[in-house]
Amino acid sequence: MPSTPASPDLAALEAACPGLALPAGAAPDLPATHPGGEALPAPHTLLCEDGTPLAARWYEPPTPARAVALVSPATGVPQRYYRHFAAWLARRGYAVLTYDYRGIGESLRGPVRADRSRMRDWALLDMSTALAEAERRRAPRGLPLLVVGHSFGGNAAGLARGFERADALLTLGAQSGDWRNWPGRHRWVTGAYFHLMLPLVSHLFGRAPGWALGGRGDGLPKQVALEWARWGRRRGYLFTDPSLAAHLQGYRRFAGTAHLWNVSDDLTYGPAPAVDALAAEYQAARVRRHELVPKKLGITQLGHFGAFRPGVGEKVWPVLLTAIERDAPALSIALAQR
Span 46-85, pLDDT tens digits: 999 999 999 999 999 999 999 999 999 999 999 999 999 9
Contact 130, 48 (CB under 8 A): no
Residues 151 and 180: their CA atoms lie apart, in Å, by: 17
For residue 227, which amino acid is it? E
The number of CA neighbours under 13 Å toward the Cβ of 27 is: 9
Q: What is the pTM of this model?
A: 0.90
Q: Looking at residue 337, what is its pLDDT?
A: 64
Regions of the chain where pLDDT drops below 50 = 1-12, 15-34, 39
* 142 burial via Cβ count (<10 Å: 0-12, 13-18, 19+): exposed
Q: Looking at residue 334, what is its pLDDT?
A: 86
Domain ranges in the chain are: 43-128+140-334
Give per-residue pLDDT as tens, 186-245: 999 999 999 999 999 999 999 998 888 766 667 899 999 999 999 999 999 999 999 999
Q: Looking at residue 6, what is its pLDDT?
A: 39
End-to-end CA distance of the chain: 48
CATH number of this structure's domain 43-128+140-334: 3.40.50.1820
The DSSP annotation for 297-320 comes to: GT-S--TTTGGGSTTTHHHHHHHH
Please enumerate in sequence order all residues whose Cβ is within 8 A of that of 139, keeping only pairs 6 or more positions apart, or say none: none
Handedness of CA 248, 252, 255, 258 (dihedral sign): positive
Q: Looking at residue 216, what is its pLDDT?
A: 60
**Maximum alpha-carbon separation in the chain:** 56
Contact 134, 152 (CB under 8 A): no
